[in-house]
């Protein structure tokens, strides 16, 4: 029997999310699989909890490709590896912390014929205040470099056509923890058709950020700042 073709693949990076991962995946799946044939690309690496076990169990029930490693790869490498495994015509990316509301997916999906990339815009972002502060400061610096039209260039809720991923993925990875900052400036400078969609952003379902602890934010910010020069140089070269 010929299997039905997949409409959209859903990339979800996972690190130490045992407390919530089953709930998050089931919520996404029940929303999207009602109307579309979908498959997850789950990128789990280095978790010290039961995340991998829970996901493996879920894979008996929910269609997924599991990209696992016992070493933690870091957010950007995990997402990049997931993007390289894409085979469907569309890729939806969202985090596994429950902050993105999968109901918003349908606003993205409606726009898919008119745009190459659809970005989430967290109008009311539910993160701790100091995180919002640092993110805003970085936004102003980023805008000095790239002058993008985006309100929320680091939103981890994105729908992208496969040809865009194929074009850009090999160049990605200059910001080990801040994948979307780089991704959005690359799609912008490559002149793809892009739309921002307002989304409902929630507090983490449980646990706390796996990346941006207050003790790490200065180091990450500094390295991201240096990466901006590198990305700018690369983009300028591409436009020569």
CB of 40 to ligand GDP, least distance (A): 13
Q: Report residue 67 as tokens.
A: 């990209």
Find the binding residues for ligand GDP in span 17-56 (CB under 6 A). Answer: 17, 43-45
CB of 11 to ligand GDP, least distance (A): 10
Q: Which of 10, 11, 14, 169 binds ligand GDP (CB under 6 A)?
A: 14
Residue 17 interacting with Mg ion (CB under 5 A): no
CA of 153: how far to CAs of 4, 10, 56, 197, in Å?
34, 20, 32, 12
Residue 78 interacting with ligand GDP (CB under 6 A): yes
Cα–Cα–Cα angle for 93, 99, 100, rounded to 5 degrees: 40
| Interatomic CA distance for residues 170 and 183, integer angstroms | 11
Q: Which of 47, 52, 99, 135 binds Mg ion (CB under 5 A)?
A: 99
| Interatomic CA distance for residues 121 and 160, integer angstroms | 15
Give the interface segment with ligand GDP, choosing from 12-20, 29-37, 109-117, 214-222 (CB under 6 A). Answer: 12-20
Residue 152 interacting with ligand GDP (CB under 6 A): no
For the chain, percent helix, then strand, then coil, each to nearest 5? 40, 20, 40
Site string for ligand GDP, 58-77 (x = CB under 6 A): --------------xxxx--
| Interatomic CA distance for residues 210 and 18, integer angstroms | 13
CB of 219 to Mg ion, least distance (A): 19
* Contact criterion met (CB below 8 Å) for 65 and 40: yes
Find the binding residues for Mg ion in span 208-237 (CB under 5 A). Answer: none
> 210 touches which of Mg ion, ligand GDP, none (CB within 5 to 8 A by kind)?
ligand GDP
| Helices 179-189 and 217-238, axial angle in degrees (round to 10) | 20
Closest CA to 156 of 46, 11, 2, 34: 11
Q: What is the DSSP string of 19-57?
A: TTHHHHHHHHHHHHTTTS-EEEEEEEES-SSSHHHHHHH
CB of 13 to ligand GDP, least distance (A): 3
Site string for ligand GDP, 191-230 (x = CB under 6 A): ------------------xxxx------------------
CB of 213 to ligand GDP, least distance (A): 9
- 116 vs 217, beta carbon nearer ligand GDP: 217
- 44 vs 116, beta carbon nearer ligand GDP: 44
- Contact residues for ligand GDP (CB under 6 A)? 13-15, 17, 43-45, 72-75, 78, 95-97, 99, 209-212
């Amino acid at each position: 029997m010929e299997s039905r073709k997949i409409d959209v693949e859903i990339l979800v990076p996972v690190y130490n999310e045992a407390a919530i991962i089953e709930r998050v995946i089931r919520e996404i799946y029940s929303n999207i699989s009602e109307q579309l044939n979908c498959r997850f690309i789950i990128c789990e690496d280095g978790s010290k909890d039961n995340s991998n076990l829970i996901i493996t169990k879920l894979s008996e029930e929910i269609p997924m490709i599991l990209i696992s490693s016992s070493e933690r790869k870091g957010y950007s490498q995990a997402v990049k590896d997931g993007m390289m495994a894409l085979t469907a015509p569309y890729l939806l990316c969202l985090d596994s912390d429950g902050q993105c509301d999968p109901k918003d997916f349908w606003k993205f999906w409606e726009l898919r014929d008119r745009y190459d990339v659809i970005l989430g815009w967290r109008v009311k972002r539910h993160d701790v205040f100091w995180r919002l502060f640092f993110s805003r400061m970085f936004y102003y610096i980023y805008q000095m470099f790239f002058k993008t039209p985006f309100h929320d260039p680091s939103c981890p809720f994105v729908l992208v056509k496969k040809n865009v991923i194929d074009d850009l993925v090999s160049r990605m990875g200059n910001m080990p923890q801040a994948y979307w900052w780089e991704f959005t400036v690359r799609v912008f400078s490559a002149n793809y058709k892009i739309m921002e969609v307002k989304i409902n952003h929630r507090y983490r379902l449980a646990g706390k950020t796996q990346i941006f602890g207050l003790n790490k934010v200065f180091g990450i910010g500094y390295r991201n700042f240096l990466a901006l020069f590198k990305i700018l140089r690369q983009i300028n070269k591409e436009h020569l």
